[in-house]
Structure 1
Amino acid sequence: MSNDAVTGAATAQMPDIAAAHFIDSLFKPAHILVAISGGSDSTGLLAALAEQLKSSPNSDIALSAATIDHGLRVGSAEEARDVAAFCATLGVPHIVRRWEGEKPKNGIMAAAREARYGLLADIAAEISANLVVTAHTLDDQHETLAMRAARLREGEGGAGTGIADATLFDRRLWIVRPFLACRRADIRDYLMGRGMSWLDDPSNEDVRYERVRTRKRLAEGDIASISVPDGGVARAALSAEAAAWLDRHVTVNADVLCAIGRDGLAVDEAVLSYALSYLAAVFGGGSYRPGRERMRRVLDFIGEDRPGRRAAGGVVFDLRRDGLYLMRESRDIRPLVLASGTDGVWDGRFRIANHGPTTIRVEAAGASGWAKFAERLPKGAVQRARAVLPRIVACDGDNDTSVAIAPYLAPFDRFLTRFDLTFADRLAACFGREAYMPPPL
């Protein structure tokens, strides 16, 4: 069998080749933490990496593995022990960590993902691993694109870039996907050829989940008809163009007011839409950009070139003769209570650390908001921006508070794809923040 096989528009790699390419791409020294569930994909990833490193003992790369037991079904603890035994046969150190605490009744899969990445990041910090690898495959990519395409309305554009090859989690750890061009069938052939088995998760057959339904639908159709993106090349180029646009046309005032010069509105619509949607998420405290339909209305509003205001995604778009101003809407801003010695994210826009001796309450400043703004800025825009600044109130009535306040860029500070890194770095600089951690490859 050849090392490569063509699937649709994408070239599928064999597992051993993908593992070798990944190891060659890493900055050294490196310590890889493999997230392994015991399924065929993650088992194949660990086996392929271990095999490649065994053939190159002086590569200056360490390998460890971790299993997150979500505790969502009977037998998960025993499966984690089986994975530990498999890792032992490879001579790979293995850690099991359980997701403790009450589980949400709704959105369980999203909550499990958040918990999984948080626990993996904690383990990585404990063992000094500088990246985590997960076993997302070309099959997963097809499923993701099919699900996104199904949500689009007729006549709308493509389903986007799909799963990113590398994502920065929580500003502290890169999650890399070396098998994103590998087919699941090839991974299983690789394992069977080495006499290795894997565990089958029964949830992979549960049609209550959208991904399972999509997987079954694709198995009955022509998967080769799904167009796989270009690895994010076009998205990365758009990110770079939008970053240059930021430099030329945007200023951030007091972390709450975005000013865009008039010339900045007369640019390519793809660049403007990309940049404005992320600015809306940042100034609105949203983890995700406004949807296409909302952004279409915003772009049409700007194109009409008549001064006025529109709201979208919790953000006011204030169009004036000299340019466009963005600030958080003053509604639906919930307070945050922080005990002494704790920190948290308020309104998706500021990370607040309580260093004082008493519990504090963080709320919108309203009429009492104060910050220094340039005199040339429109008074109405400044007034609305002041109202959404954070105000710190001591819960026991004591005025002796000690807090650290830093801007939080919600769409990037939790999950940042490598596609968007250039734009995110430039936007962080606009807020006076340090650049994001560069990828380890």
Structure 2
Amino acid sequence: MLFLGFFLGLVVGLGLWVWQQVHLNWYLEGLLQPLNSHSRKINHIRLLLRPGLRQDMSMVNKQRQDLQQSLSMYQELLNFAPVGYLQVDEENQLLWCNQQAREILYLQRWQPGQVRLLLELVRSYELDQLIEQTRDWQKPQVQEWVFHPACEDAREMTAVKSMLVRASSLPLTTGQVGVFLENCQSVLDMKQERDRSFSDLAHELRTPLTAIRLVVETLQTRLEPPLDRWVNRLMQEVDRLINLVQSWLELTQMENNPTMQLNLEMVEMRSLILSAWETLEPIAQRQSLSINYTGLENIYIQADKFQLYQVFVNLLDNSIKYSPTQTTIDIETQIISTDNGQMLEINIIDSGIGFTVADLPHVFERFYRGDKARYRSPLNEVNSTTGIAGSGLGLAIVQQIIIAHNGAIKAMNHPETGGAWLQLQFSQIMTNTPSQDYS
């Protein structure tokens, strides 16, 4: 009896299943009635539907495996890369980093596969701010700062040293950010060691150069023409070397002490600029050069008058050297509004050959000599009143003086004249005559 009941239930179930299949076929034939002329193709589609689906699934699995292998390969390459790399999600949680990043940032507590807030692992607000700016602006960013690693073990703190880190970030999909890290401390150490070596050498050179100059002065009084012209040439070269050594020492002192002591007073800029031009005017007249000052009068800034005078003598002397004859050097002044308030902007524009695109990022570097067309021979340099214009130190000294005044300087090429365009900006300005002495 039990077997008969089981058999009847099986028959009823199979009957229902057959009825459903027949009903489904009738329904599909009704939908495909307009396509009776393509009945063979429809039958082929029905036969190939299930194998095609399995083939698509197999292809998707193959693509997933290929992507997984590519990801593993890229991670392995990044692990052996000479720069650090880390990646964070939209909540600044560390998703992955390579071995170099772990060494640079001392990520001792992080393990692969672990997701933790980056600021908990690395106490660097500069890095955190860089990531936020990259995500907000959706543009690559570059920043340098001195990183002070934190160490849980107090006994290891003496062995952990601060380092100069350069970070280059880029926005990724879904709010993620990738950051490449470089340890620039070794480059900074080499630069500082080079500067110390040159400074020591400059100190040692001052004494023998002074002695040589005394000998040359004695020879000048004892030689008759035409032999004296060689001694005069020798004197010019000795003076040039003395000025170069002195300029190097001044620049090194400025860089080592950015907040150098300034004798601040209220300085009227138009009078100061014209005073610097009067010093150089005899040289400018040889090339029939003139100056055109336009803009503000009775504009004062709080500054060191002697240092700013040196700035404009250097800049104008440089413009004179590279200006064609019978041209004008334009000096424009105006007050502009910035995020830091109002600032005085001074533009010095000549009609010379300007800077090449490759030289522009380096014009304020010491001893940088760019386009050969801007080289000056020693015979031409004797016309300089600064004595350092041809040494590659003039603009470097100018930049350090302006930085000490909390200002900025920028080198460009003017779109109209094609010549050099140097733009200076200063804060702490006054448009009226000061009523008290700030010196």
In the superposition, the TM-score normalised over structure 1's length comes to 0.24
- Larger Rg belongs to: 2
Higher helix share: 2
More RCO (CA 8 Å, sep 6+): 1
In the superposition, the TM-score normalised over structure 2's length comes to 0.24
